Protein backbone atom coordinates (compact mmCIF):
# COMPACT_ATOMS: atom_id res chain seq x y z
CA UNK A 1 0.00 0.00 0.00
CA UNK A 2 1.28 3.45 -0.90
CA UNK A 3 1.87 5.38 2.37
CA UNK A 4 1.25 8.67 0.58
CA UNK A 5 -2.13 7.69 -0.83
CA UNK A 6 -4.02 8.41 2.41
CA UNK A 7 -2.45 11.83 2.90
CA UNK A 8 -4.44 14.91 1.87
CA UNK A 9 -3.60 16.20 -1.59
CA UNK A 10 -1.39 19.25 -1.76
CA UNK A 11 -2.43 22.25 -3.83
CA UNK A 12 0.28 22.97 -6.35
CA UNK A 13 0.68 25.96 -8.67
CA UNK A 14 2.19 24.97 -12.03
CA UNK A 15 3.14 27.95 -14.17
CA UNK A 16 2.83 27.55 -17.95
CA UNK A 17 6.22 29.03 -18.84
CA UNK A 18 7.00 30.74 -22.12
CA UNK A 19 3.94 30.43 -24.43
CA UNK A 20 6.18 29.83 -27.46
CA UNK A 21 8.25 27.04 -25.93
CA UNK A 22 7.54 23.58 -24.54
CA UNK A 23 6.46 24.83 -21.11
CA UNK A 24 2.69 24.61 -21.73
CA UNK A 25 3.16 21.17 -23.30
CA UNK A 26 5.07 19.61 -20.40
CA UNK A 27 2.75 21.33 -17.90
CA UNK A 28 -0.37 19.93 -19.59
CA UNK A 29 1.12 16.45 -19.89
CA UNK A 30 2.23 16.51 -16.28
CA UNK A 31 -0.90 17.79 -14.51
CA UNK A 32 -3.13 15.37 -16.43
CA UNK A 33 -1.11 12.35 -15.25
CA UNK A 34 -3.45 10.26 -13.05
CA UNK A 35 -0.51 9.06 -10.99
CA UNK A 36 0.19 12.61 -9.83
CA UNK A 37 -3.42 13.45 -9.22
CA UNK A 38 -3.44 10.99 -6.33
CA UNK A 39 -1.12 13.34 -4.43
CA UNK A 40 -1.70 16.84 -5.73
CA UNK A 41 -4.46 19.23 -6.68
CA UNK A 42 -2.74 21.04 -9.56
CA UNK A 43 -3.60 24.53 -10.71
CA UNK A 44 -2.20 25.61 -14.07
CA UNK A 45 -1.25 29.28 -13.84
CA UNK A 46 -1.05 31.07 -17.19
CA UNK A 47 -3.14 32.34 -20.11
CA UNK A 48 -6.01 29.95 -20.81
CA UNK A 49 -5.91 30.82 -24.50
CA UNK A 50 -2.27 29.72 -24.70
CA UNK A 51 -3.00 26.45 -22.92
CA UNK A 52 -5.96 25.76 -25.21
CA UNK A 53 -3.84 26.38 -28.31
CA UNK A 54 -1.17 23.95 -27.12
CA UNK A 55 -3.80 21.42 -26.11
CA UNK A 56 -5.36 21.52 -29.57
CA UNK A 57 -2.11 21.49 -31.54
CA UNK A 58 -0.72 18.62 -29.50
CA UNK A 59 -3.85 16.50 -29.62
CA UNK A 60 -4.41 16.69 -25.87
CA UNK A 61 -8.15 17.36 -26.05
CA UNK A 62 -8.69 14.75 -23.33
CA UNK A 63 -7.24 17.26 -20.88
CA UNK A 64 -10.32 19.16 -19.68
CA UNK A 65 -9.56 22.72 -18.53
CA UNK A 66 -11.71 24.59 -16.02
CA UNK A 67 -11.10 28.28 -15.35
CA UNK A 68 -11.08 29.42 -11.71
CA UNK A 69 -10.69 32.90 -10.26
CA UNK A 70 -9.25 31.85 -6.90
CA UNK A 71 -7.26 28.82 -5.72
CA UNK A 72 -9.47 26.33 -3.95
CA UNK A 73 -12.56 26.78 -6.12
CA UNK A 74 -14.42 23.60 -6.93
CA UNK A 75 -13.31 21.94 -10.15
CA UNK A 76 -15.34 19.27 -11.98
CA UNK A 77 -14.08 15.72 -11.53
CA UNK A 78 -11.46 14.94 -14.15
CA UNK A 79 -10.81 18.59 -15.05
CA UNK A 80 -7.65 20.61 -14.47
CA UNK A 81 -7.97 24.05 -12.88
CA UNK A 82 -6.61 27.04 -14.79
CA UNK A 83 -5.88 30.35 -13.08
CA UNK A 84 -5.42 33.03 -15.76
CA UNK A 85 -3.54 36.02 -14.28
CA UNK A 86 -4.91 38.46 -16.86
CA UNK A 87 -7.12 37.25 -19.76
CA UNK A 88 -6.70 40.64 -21.45
CA UNK A 89 -2.98 39.98 -21.89
CA UNK A 90 -3.17 36.62 -23.65
CA UNK A 91 -0.37 36.59 -26.24
CA UNK A 92 -0.51 34.94 -29.63
CA UNK A 93 1.32 31.61 -29.72
CA UNK A 94 4.28 31.80 -32.13
CA UNK A 95 6.22 28.58 -31.68
CA UNK A 96 9.93 29.24 -31.39
CA UNK A 97 9.63 33.03 -31.35
CA UNK A 98 11.19 35.18 -28.62
CA UNK A 99 8.70 37.97 -27.90
CA UNK A 100 8.03 40.56 -25.23
CA UNK A 101 4.37 39.47 -25.03
CA UNK A 102 5.41 35.90 -24.26
CA UNK A 103 7.91 37.05 -21.65
CA UNK A 104 5.30 39.25 -19.99
CA UNK A 105 2.73 36.44 -19.84
CA UNK A 106 5.28 34.01 -18.40
CA UNK A 107 6.28 36.38 -15.62
CA UNK A 108 2.73 37.36 -14.75
CA UNK A 109 2.07 33.68 -14.12
CA UNK A 110 5.12 33.44 -11.88
CA UNK A 111 4.05 36.51 -9.90
CA UNK A 112 0.57 35.04 -9.41
CA UNK A 113 1.92 31.69 -8.25
CA UNK A 114 4.37 33.30 -5.84
CA UNK A 115 1.64 35.44 -4.35
CA UNK A 116 -0.53 32.37 -3.86
CA UNK A 117 2.30 30.53 -2.10
CA UNK A 118 3.06 33.47 0.19
CA UNK A 119 -0.63 33.82 1.08
CA UNK A 120 -0.97 30.09 1.74
CA UNK A 121 -3.30 29.35 -1.18
CA UNK A 122 -0.69 27.00 -2.65
CA UNK A 123 1.56 24.56 -0.81
CA UNK A 124 4.29 24.85 -3.44
CA UNK A 125 4.93 25.97 -6.99
CA UNK A 126 6.53 24.37 -10.04
CA UNK A 127 7.67 26.63 -12.87
CA UNK A 128 7.82 25.64 -16.53
CA UNK A 129 10.75 27.08 -18.52
CA UNK A 130 10.96 30.75 -19.45
CA UNK A 131 13.19 32.64 -21.86
CA UNK A 132 15.56 35.10 -20.22
CA UNK A 133 15.69 37.04 -23.47
CA UNK A 134 11.90 37.24 -23.71
CA UNK A 135 11.47 38.47 -20.14
CA UNK A 136 14.17 41.05 -20.75
CA UNK A 137 12.24 42.29 -23.79
CA UNK A 138 9.19 42.53 -21.53
CA UNK A 139 11.05 44.88 -19.19
CA UNK A 140 12.10 42.50 -16.42
CA UNK A 141 15.69 42.89 -15.27
CA UNK A 142 15.96 39.62 -13.29
CA UNK A 143 18.33 37.11 -14.92
CA UNK A 144 16.00 34.21 -14.20
CA UNK A 145 13.32 32.61 -12.04
CA UNK A 146 15.59 32.21 -9.03
CA UNK A 147 16.46 35.85 -8.59
CA UNK A 148 12.99 37.10 -9.52
CA UNK A 149 11.19 34.89 -7.01
CA UNK A 150 13.71 35.76 -4.31
CA UNK A 151 13.00 39.44 -4.94
CA UNK A 152 9.29 38.83 -4.28
CA UNK A 153 9.68 36.60 -1.22
CA UNK A 154 12.91 37.55 0.49
CA UNK A 155 15.24 34.87 1.72
CA UNK A 156 18.66 33.94 0.38
CA UNK A 157 18.18 31.83 -2.75
CA UNK A 158 20.48 28.94 -3.51
CA UNK A 159 20.19 27.22 -6.88
CA UNK A 160 20.33 23.45 -6.45
CA UNK A 161 19.97 20.71 -9.06
CA UNK A 162 18.54 17.48 -7.69
CA UNK A 163 18.21 13.93 -8.99
CA UNK A 164 17.93 10.56 -7.32
CA UNK A 165 21.72 10.20 -7.20
CA UNK A 166 23.18 13.67 -7.31
CA UNK A 167 22.64 17.13 -5.80
CA UNK A 168 24.63 20.10 -7.08
CA UNK A 169 24.37 23.64 -5.68
CA UNK A 170 26.03 26.78 -7.02
CA UNK A 171 28.07 29.51 -5.36
CA UNK A 172 27.35 31.79 -8.32
CA UNK A 173 24.44 31.13 -10.67
CA UNK A 174 23.49 33.49 -13.50
CA UNK A 175 26.77 35.42 -13.53
CA UNK A 176 28.97 36.03 -16.61
CA UNK A 177 32.01 33.77 -16.51
CA UNK A 178 34.47 36.67 -16.49
CA UNK A 179 32.83 38.00 -13.29
CA UNK A 180 32.96 34.69 -11.40
CA UNK A 181 36.46 34.93 -9.81
CA UNK A 182 35.68 38.28 -8.20
CA UNK A 183 32.27 37.06 -7.05
CA UNK A 184 33.69 33.95 -5.35
CA UNK A 185 34.66 35.33 -1.95
CA UNK A 186 35.50 33.49 1.24
CA UNK A 187 32.40 34.86 2.94
CA UNK A 188 30.11 33.78 0.08
CA UNK A 189 31.55 30.27 -0.16
CA UNK A 190 31.17 29.77 3.60
CA UNK A 191 27.60 31.10 3.46
CA UNK A 192 26.71 28.78 0.59
CA UNK A 193 28.07 25.79 2.52
CA UNK A 194 25.92 26.77 5.50
CA UNK A 195 22.80 27.40 3.40
CA UNK A 196 23.24 24.14 1.50
CA UNK A 197 23.71 22.20 4.72
CA UNK A 198 20.60 23.78 6.22
CA UNK A 199 18.52 22.88 3.17
CA UNK A 200 19.77 19.30 3.20
CA UNK A 201 18.63 19.01 6.80
CA UNK A 202 15.30 20.83 6.48
CA UNK A 203 14.21 19.95 2.96
CA UNK A 204 15.77 16.50 2.47
CA UNK A 205 15.81 15.13 6.02
CA UNK A 206 19.58 14.50 6.16
CA UNK A 207 20.72 14.94 9.77
CA UNK A 208 24.49 15.30 9.18
CA UNK A 209 24.89 16.40 5.57
CA UNK A 210 28.25 16.07 3.87
CA UNK A 211 29.15 18.70 1.28
CA UNK A 212 31.95 18.42 -1.28
CA UNK A 213 33.28 21.79 -2.46
CA UNK A 214 34.83 22.15 -5.91
CA UNK A 215 37.73 24.37 -6.84
CA UNK A 216 37.50 27.25 -9.29
CA UNK A 217 40.59 26.67 -11.44
CA UNK A 218 41.80 23.67 -13.45
CA UNK A 219 43.25 21.02 -11.10
CA UNK A 220 41.96 23.12 -8.18
CA UNK A 221 44.79 25.57 -8.78
CA UNK A 222 47.63 23.01 -8.62
CA UNK A 223 48.99 24.50 -5.41
CA UNK A 224 48.75 28.05 -6.71
CA UNK A 225 50.40 27.41 -10.09
CA UNK A 226 47.07 27.71 -11.96
CA UNK A 227 45.38 30.17 -9.66
CA UNK A 228 45.29 31.15 -6.00
CA UNK A 229 41.53 31.13 -5.30
CA UNK A 230 41.59 27.60 -3.88
CA UNK A 231 44.42 28.39 -1.46
CA UNK A 232 43.36 31.90 -0.47
CA UNK A 233 39.55 31.80 -0.68
CA UNK A 234 37.89 28.39 -0.99
CA UNK A 235 40.01 26.27 1.37
CA UNK A 236 39.78 28.86 4.20
CA UNK A 237 35.99 28.99 3.71
CA UNK A 238 35.79 25.20 4.00
CA UNK A 239 37.88 25.26 7.18
CA UNK A 240 35.73 28.04 8.65
CA UNK A 241 32.55 26.09 7.92
CA UNK A 242 33.99 22.98 9.56
CA UNK A 243 34.98 25.04 12.60
CA UNK A 244 31.28 25.86 13.00
CA UNK A 245 30.31 22.19 13.02
CA UNK A 246 29.47 21.71 9.34
CA UNK A 247 30.77 18.77 7.33
CA UNK A 248 32.46 20.19 4.25
CA UNK A 249 35.37 18.82 2.22
CA UNK A 250 37.59 20.15 -0.54
CA UNK A 251 38.29 22.00 -2.72
CA UNK A 252 38.39 19.25 -5.33
CA UNK A 253 39.32 19.48 -9.03
CA UNK A 254 35.94 19.40 -10.76
CA UNK A 255 36.87 17.09 -13.64
CA UNK A 256 38.47 14.39 -11.52
CA UNK A 257 35.78 14.64 -8.87
CA UNK A 258 32.96 13.80 -11.27
CA UNK A 259 35.01 11.31 -13.29
CA UNK A 260 35.79 9.32 -10.13
CA UNK A 261 32.15 9.56 -8.97
CA UNK A 262 33.18 11.40 -5.83
CA UNK A 263 29.62 12.71 -5.63
CA UNK A 264 28.47 9.24 -4.56
CA UNK A 265 30.35 9.68 -1.26
CA UNK A 266 28.63 12.92 -0.21
CA UNK A 267 25.13 14.35 0.10
CA UNK A 268 25.69 17.34 -2.18
CA UNK A 269 28.30 19.09 -4.28
CA UNK A 270 28.94 22.84 -4.20
CA UNK A 271 30.19 24.16 -7.56
CA UNK A 272 31.68 27.60 -8.04
CA UNK A 273 29.79 28.58 -11.20
CA UNK A 274 26.88 27.62 -13.43
CA UNK A 275 28.39 25.35 -16.08
CA UNK A 276 30.87 23.74 -13.71
CA UNK A 277 27.94 22.21 -11.86
CA UNK A 278 25.23 21.95 -14.50
CA UNK A 279 27.21 20.32 -17.32
CA UNK A 280 28.02 17.15 -15.33
CA UNK A 281 24.60 17.20 -13.68
CA UNK A 282 22.68 17.34 -16.94
CA UNK A 283 24.97 14.73 -18.46
CA UNK A 284 24.11 12.34 -15.65
CA UNK A 285 20.45 13.23 -15.04
CA UNK A 286 18.99 15.27 -17.89
CA UNK A 287 15.45 13.86 -18.04
CA UNK A 288 15.13 13.21 -14.31
CA UNK A 289 16.82 16.30 -12.91
CA UNK A 290 15.03 19.07 -11.03
CA UNK A 291 15.99 22.66 -10.34
CA UNK A 292 15.18 23.44 -6.68
CA UNK A 293 15.51 26.91 -5.18
CA UNK A 294 16.65 26.41 -1.61
CA UNK A 295 16.69 29.21 0.95
CA UNK A 296 13.26 30.64 0.14
CA UNK A 297 10.24 30.85 2.48
CA UNK A 298 8.20 29.07 -0.22
CA UNK A 299 8.82 25.82 -2.09
CA UNK A 300 9.72 26.20 -5.76
CA UNK A 301 11.00 23.62 -8.20
CA UNK A 302 11.26 23.42 -11.99
CA UNK A 303 12.42 20.98 -14.68
CA UNK A 304 16.11 21.27 -15.50
CA UNK A 305 15.61 21.96 -19.22
CA UNK A 306 14.86 25.15 -21.10
CA UNK A 307 12.18 26.36 -23.50
CA UNK A 308 13.34 23.99 -26.28
CA UNK A 309 12.00 26.31 -28.98
CA UNK A 310 13.21 23.93 -31.69
CA UNK A 311 10.62 21.28 -30.77
CA UNK A 312 7.83 23.54 -29.46
CA UNK A 313 4.42 22.57 -30.78
CA UNK A 314 5.60 19.21 -32.12
CA UNK A 315 4.48 17.06 -29.18
CA UNK A 316 7.98 15.67 -28.67
CA UNK A 317 8.80 17.25 -25.30
CA UNK A 318 9.24 14.79 -22.44
CA UNK A 319 7.40 15.58 -19.20
CA UNK A 320 9.79 13.41 -17.13
CA UNK A 321 11.72 16.29 -15.58
CA UNK A 322 8.49 18.25 -14.98
CA UNK A 323 6.98 15.23 -13.27
CA UNK A 324 10.10 14.84 -11.10
CA UNK A 325 9.83 18.53 -10.20
CA UNK A 326 6.27 18.00 -8.99
CA UNK A 327 7.24 15.01 -6.86
CA UNK A 328 10.15 16.92 -5.29
CA UNK A 329 7.92 19.92 -4.55
CA UNK A 330 5.49 17.59 -2.77
CA UNK A 331 8.25 15.96 -0.73
CA UNK A 332 9.87 19.23 0.35
CA UNK A 333 6.55 20.89 1.19
CA UNK A 334 5.54 17.91 3.32
CA UNK A 335 8.87 17.88 5.16
CA UNK A 336 8.61 21.59 5.89
CA UNK A 337 5.04 21.19 7.06
CA UNK A 338 6.00 18.31 9.35
CA UNK A 339 8.81 20.38 10.89
CA UNK A 340 6.46 23.32 11.44
CA UNK A 341 3.75 21.15 12.98
CA UNK A 342 6.35 19.44 15.14
CA UNK A 343 7.59 22.78 16.50
CA UNK A 344 4.05 23.95 17.13
CA UNK A 345 3.24 20.72 18.88
Q: Hey, where are the domains in the chain?
A: 1-155+298-345, 156-295
Q: What is the mean pLDDT of residues 295-315?
A: 95
Mean pLDDT (whole number) for 143-152: 89
Radius of gyration from C-alpha coordinates of the chain: 20
Section 308-312 average pLDDT:
97
CATH assignment of 1-155+298-345?
3.40.718.10
User: Averaged over 254-278, what is the pLDDT?
Assistant: 96
pLDDT tops 80 at residue 177: yes
Of residues 232 and 39, the one with the higher pLDDT is 232
**What confidence category does residue 3 fall into, taking pLDDT thresholds of 50, 70 and 90?**
very low
Please tell me the predicted confidence (pLDDT) of residue 247.
Answer: 98
Q: How far apart are the first and last CA of the chain?
A: 28
Residue 315, number of CB atoms within 10 A of its CB:
14
pLDDT beyond 90 at 146: no
Q: At what angle do helices 186-202 and 235-243 cross, to 10 degrees?
A: 50
Please indicate whether the domains covering 1-155+298-345 and 156-295 agree at the CATH topology level. yes
What is the spatial distance between Cα 303 and Cα 320, in angstroms, rounded to a whole number?
A: 8
Bond prior to 251 in cis (omega within 30° of 0) = yes
What integer pLDDT is reported at residue 311 of this predicted model? 97
pLDDT of the residue at 344: 58
Strands 158-162 and 290-294: antiparallel
In this prediction, residue 319 carries a pLDDT of: 94
In the sheet that holds 40-45, the strands lie side by side as 64-68, 79-83, 40-45, 10-15, 124-127, 300-303, 290-294, 158-162, 167-170, 268-271, 210-214, 247-252
pTM: 0.92
Architecture of domain 156-295: 3-Layer(aba) Sandwich (3.40)
What is the Cα–Cα distance from 134 to 153, expressed in whole angstroms?
Answer: 23
* Long-range contacts of 238-246, Cβ-Cβ distance < 8 Å, separation of 24 or more: 238/189, 238/193, 238/213, 240/186, 240/190, 241/190, 241/193, 241/194, 241/197, 244/194, 246/193, 246/194, 246/197, 246/211
Percent of the chain residues past pLDDT 90, beyond the cut: 80
Please choose, from the candidates 179, 173, 175, the residue with its C-alpha nearest in 3D space to the C-alpha of residue 156.
Answer: 173
Q: Is the pLDDT of residue 296 over 90?
A: yes
User: Shortest CA distance to 250 belongs to which of 299, 214, 292?
Assistant: 214
**What does the buried/exposed string (b/e) look like for 278-314 if buried means 16 or more CB atoms within 10 Å of the residue's CB?**
bebbbebbeebbbbbbbbbebbbbbbbbebbbebbbe
Question: Distance between CA atoms of 232 and 108, rounded to whole angstroms?
Answer: 43
Q: What is the pLDDT of residue 126?
A: 98
Low-confidence winner among 74-88, 158-172, 235-249 (lowest mean pLDDT): 74-88
Instruction: Give CA–CA dist 328/336, Å, rounded.
Output: 12
Are 38 and 73 in contact by the 8 Å Cβ rule? The answer is no
pLDDT beyond 80 at 170: yes
Confidence category of residue 246, pLDDT binned at 50, 70, 90: very high
Q: How much is the pLDDT for 78?
A: 82
The chain-wide mean pLDDT, for the chain, equals 93
Question: Does the structure show a pLDDT above 90 at 341?
Answer: no
Answer whether residue 5 shows pLDDT above 70: no
Quickly state the pLDDT bin for 342 (edges 50, 70, 90): low
Q: What is the pLDDT of residue 118?
A: 96
Handedness of CA 42, 195, 289, 85 (dihedral sign): positive
- Which pLDDT does position 163 carry in this prediction? 95
Can you tell me the mean pLDDT for 147-157? 92
What span, in angstroms and rounded, lies between the C-alpha atoms of 327 and 139?
33
pLDDT exceeds 50 at position 1: no
- Percent of the chain whose pLDDT exceeds 70: 97
Q: Is residue 279 helix, strand or coil? A: helix
Lowest mean pLDDT among 56-60, 81-85, 289-293, 335-339: 335-339
Residue 55: Cβ within 10 Å count:
20
Amino acid sequence: MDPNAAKPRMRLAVTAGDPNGVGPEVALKCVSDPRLLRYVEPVLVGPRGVLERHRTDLGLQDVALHTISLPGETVPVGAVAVLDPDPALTPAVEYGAITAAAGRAAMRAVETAVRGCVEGSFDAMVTAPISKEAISLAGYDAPGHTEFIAGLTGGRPLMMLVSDRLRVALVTAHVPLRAVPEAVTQGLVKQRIADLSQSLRRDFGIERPRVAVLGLNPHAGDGGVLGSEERDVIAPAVRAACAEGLHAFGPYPADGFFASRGFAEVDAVLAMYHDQGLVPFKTLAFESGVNFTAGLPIVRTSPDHGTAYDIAGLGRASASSMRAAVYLAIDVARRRRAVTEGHQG
